[in-house]
Amino acid sequence: MEIQFLENNLKKLKLFTILANLEPSLIKAHKNKINYDEFLFELTDVEVKTRADNRLKRLIRDAKFPIIKPIETFDFNAVPDLDLNLFKGLTTCSYIKKGQNVIFLGRSGCGKTHMATALGLEACKTDFRTKFISCFGLTNELVEAKEKIFLQRIVKRYSRYDLLILDELGYIPFTKEGAELLFQILAERHEKKSTIITTNLGFGDWTQVFQDENLTTALLDRLTHNAHIINCTWQSYRLKQTLKQNK
Ligand code: ADP
Ligand code: MG
């Protein structure tokens, strides 16, 4: 048989990794007298692994993390007050399967964005469609989509992510319109899809940001129902590092 025929089929089936590995694999199989089943397994395994690897890369790229900060770069010794059982539990992503939310609450510099990003990367590894965006960025995107048809499309897109990470709620107050649109997305996601929020605001101060009291109550009700709340009571990591260096 002409090898060309086999190569053509592999091209038609879009099995490009197998195609690229075919010749060396055939040579190796002949030399080592490898069984057909073992040969086929090895060849398809590379294709399967390459596809999984590409998919992970695509998920991470699409999530648009500002910086890639995996869990391995987080120093747990620096945060003795963190509920380790809770956090390690979150890294398994079972909260995403249950459509639960996570709220990181605490002052600037204590690692909220880092932890949220680390959980986002774990979500990508578990094959969940993830999106990282600042609250300000999201409301801007919504407000700017003036025409109803575009707006609906954006709301739909953000409602579909398995995990939405909303960073920095509370740093900049919303306009009434922005708050209402954000509420729409969070209401759509409620109990179906997970949202992680990082904020420097205690729940009592949310009305300041959302302005409307009824809206804030409705929003908090949905967000905190069945949510994991991580209260970051510790000092800023950055500040601690600076103080250490200056000693
Ligand atoms: P926040 O979002 O709470 O303001 P960040 O997550 O941006 O804080 O953290 C500030 C900086 O300190 C970042 O560079 C972050 O990677 C780093 N950092 C914070 N906590 C830790 C930690 N426990 N281990 C390693 N780096 C940390
Ligand atoms: Mg932050």
Return the ligand 1 atom nearest residue 75 CA: 24
- Cα 84 to Cα 47, 96, 171: the distances in Å are 37, 18, 27
Comparing C-alpha atoms, which of 174, 235, 179, 168 is closest to residue 201?
Answer: 168
Task: Give the ligand at the shortest distance from the Cα of 240.
Answer: 1
- 101-106 and 130-134 as β-strands: parallel, antiparallel, unpaired? unpaired
- The whole-model pTM stands at 0.89
> What's the gap in Å between 79 CA and the centre of ligand 2?
16
Q: Which residue of 83, 108, 114 sits with most ligand 1 atoms within 8 Å of its CB, as the best mutation to test the pocket?
A: 114
187-218: per-residue pLDDT in tens? 999 999 999 999 999 988 888 888 888 988 98
All residues with CB under 5 Å from ion ligand 2: 113
Distance 46 CA to ligand 1 centre (A): 37
What percentage of the chain reaches a pLDDT higher than 70? Answer: 100
Instruction: Measure the CA angle with vertex 112, ends 210 and 197; round to 5°.
Output: 35
pLDDT beyond 80 at 1: no
Helix (H) or strand (E) holding 231: strand 227-232
